[in-house]
Amino acid sequence: MVCRNLCERLYSKIIFGKSHYEGGKKYCRRCEVYYCHTGVFCPCCGMALRMSPTNKRDKERLRQSQLRREEEQDRIIRIIKRIKK
């Protein structure tokens, strides 16, 4: 299947300062666009959409945000423990 230019209409605008994947977007390599799409395949060309970051910078960013979330959870757990004592 080929690109039918549907992607141009379906294309979701990039949220600045945020990773594409963090925003739940998927990338089509053939159409070279990001979608806010729940399916596994591109609605335009039918190619499988990429869901996980392959880009090193995106990976690092995702890792960092996960790390921050874990730290935040740790902090909350510590506070709860202190209250219980």
Applying the rule CB under 5 A, the residues between 47 and 66 that interact with Zn ion are none
The helix/strand/coil state of 75 is helix
Which are the contacts of 23, defined by CB distance < 8 A and separation ≥ 6?
Answer: 15, 36
At its nearest, how many Å lie between Zn ion and the CB of residue 31?
3
Query: Pick from 7, 19, 34, 35: which binds Zn ion (CB under 5 A)?
Result: 7
What is the Cα–Cα distance from 41 to 57, expressed in whole angstroms?
A: 24
**Could you tell me the smallest distance in angstroms from the CB atom of residue 42 to Zn ion?**
3
Examine residue 37 and tell whether it contacts Zn ion (CB under 5 A): no
φ, ψ of residue 41 in degrees (nearest 5)? -110, 150
Residue ranges binding Zn ion (CB under 5 A) = 3, 7, 28, 30-31, 42, 44-45
